[in-house]
Structure formats: C-alpha cells, structure tokens
Structure 1
Amino acid sequence: MSISPQRLKALADRTDDRIDYSDIPELDDAFFETARLVQPSQKTQITMRLDAEVLDWFRAQGKGYQTRMNAVLKAYMLTHGKR
C-alpha cells in the first residue's frame, strides 16, 4: 500500500489531541504481567531458482513481494510441521 506525499504531510501535521484512540483498549497491569518481548527472526540471504511466472506474479503485487514470498513459505512450513 502506498500513501501519497500529501496524505503523509497531513498525518504529520495532525496534533496528538486529534487522534482517535477509542477503538484501542487500555493496557493494564494484567497485560504487562504476561507480556513478553518477541524479536523478529533473522533473515538469511540466499540464491533461489524460481519459475519466471511465479516471480513475475509476486513482483506484480508491488513493493514487499519478497516479504510476501517469505510469508507464503512460512505458512507452508507451519502447516506441514517443522522438521
């Protein structure tokens, strides 16, 4: 998803008192008692051979296509169990 420069400027110029937080629940002490820090996993750069139409399809989805490819592969891994 892309955001126009005009929209980014409008958001940057907005003061905190104009932000609607009504749909965000307050974080109470109970939340922090069970909260834990989760670090994103480290990525490893590889060389991989793909069918041209597979790569073209993902690239056509726009920026972040490699992240989406990783998400598809991770979902497959989780569905079929880590080995």
Structure 2
Amino acid sequence: MTDEFFESATLRIPSDKARHLIQIDPDVIAWFKAQDTEYKTLINTVLRRYIESNGDKH
C-alpha cells in the first residue's frame, strides 16, 4: 500500500463497537498491562467491583 492510500484512508469502526469506545489515560492503561496479559478483562473486573461496592446510584 502506498503513502497516498494512507493519506486518504478513513478509519471505520462498526457502529456496535464504536459506542463502547472510551479514552483511558496512557499511564492507567500501562499499569493494567503491567499487571496481567489479560488486562482488558482485569479492567472490566475492577469496574464491575466498583459498581457492586457502590451500588446503583442513578
């Protein structure tokens, strides 16, 4: 692929995936990656435990 291709390329994320995108600070993601190779599962577990310990607040 040429440079011209990449200059005009557009990233397209399927809509069912795009609505789940979040921004995580680089230092936070680095910490999770350093803890476990399954860092995405670990992030989900931490968030779930936070929700469970704080109850439904809405």
Give the TM-score of the pair, scaled to structure 1.
0.43
Gaps of 5+ in 1: 1-43
Name which of 26, 29, 32 aligns with 1:55: 29
Higher relative contact order (CA closer than 8 Å, sequence separation 6+): 2
Aligned length: 40
- What letter is aligned with 1:64? E
Residue matched to 2:39 = 65
Gaps of 5+ in 2: 1-15
Q: After TM superposition, what 4+ stretches of structure 1 lie above 2 angstroms from structure 2?
A: none
Looking at secondary structure, tell me which structure has more helix per residue: 2
| Sequence identity percentage | 32
Give the TM-score of the pair, scaled to structure 2.
0.59
Residue matched to 1:78 = 52
